[in-house]
């Protein structure tokens, strides 16, 4: 299933596989798919999944799915922090629309949510 949502004035095509639709239908609470664009010593794209709450924000992309885009950054590179990853903070982008992805694909495999997003035409 494919549909389009609007994030910061930009259309994002959301593809939800049959397996993901089935897993969503079994949920009692909405799922939040957060497209994270990580700026630091490198740039990383990652989709994070968590239970959505009334405060989660995001854009409704179906009965039990909300989607949001979140650019983040770290204050330090290397090992100037404790743990596996440095703490993240929101990255203040002046024209966020320019960084909002063109597409998001959500799947559910082996009991895990899978997601990817991109900036060129989805294949």
82 in a structural domain: no
The pLDDT assigned to 77 comes to: 65
Number of structural domains (the chain) is 1
Residues 6 or more apart whose CB falls under 8 angstroms from that of 95 comprise none
DSSP secondary structure string for all residues of 42-60: SEEEEEEEEE--TTS--EE
Residues in the chain: 123
**What is the rounded distance in angstroms from the CA atom of residue 63 to the CA atom of residue 31?**
10
Check which CATH number belongs to the domain holding 108 and give it.
2.60.300
Question: What confidence tens digit (pLDDT) does each residue in 72-119 have?
Answer: 877 666 555 555 666 777 777 778 788 899 999 999 999 999 999 999
Domain of 26, in residue numbers: 2-74+87-118
């Amino acid at each position: 299933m494919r549909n389009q949502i609007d994030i910061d004035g930009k259309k994002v095509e959301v593809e939800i596989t049959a397996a993901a639709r089935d897993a969503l239908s079994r949920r009692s609470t909405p799922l939040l798919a957060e497209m994270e664009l990580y700026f630091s010593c490198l740039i990383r794209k990652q989709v994070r999944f968590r239970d959505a709450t009334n405060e989660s924000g995001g854009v409704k992309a179906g009965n039990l799915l909300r989607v949001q885009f979140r650019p983040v950054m770290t204050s330090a590179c290397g090992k100037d922090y404790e743990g596996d990853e440095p703490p993240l903070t929101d990255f203040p982008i002046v024209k966020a629309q320019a960084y909002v992805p063109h597409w998001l694909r959500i799947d559910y495999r082996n009991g895990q949510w899978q997601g990817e997003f991109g900036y060129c035409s989805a294949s």
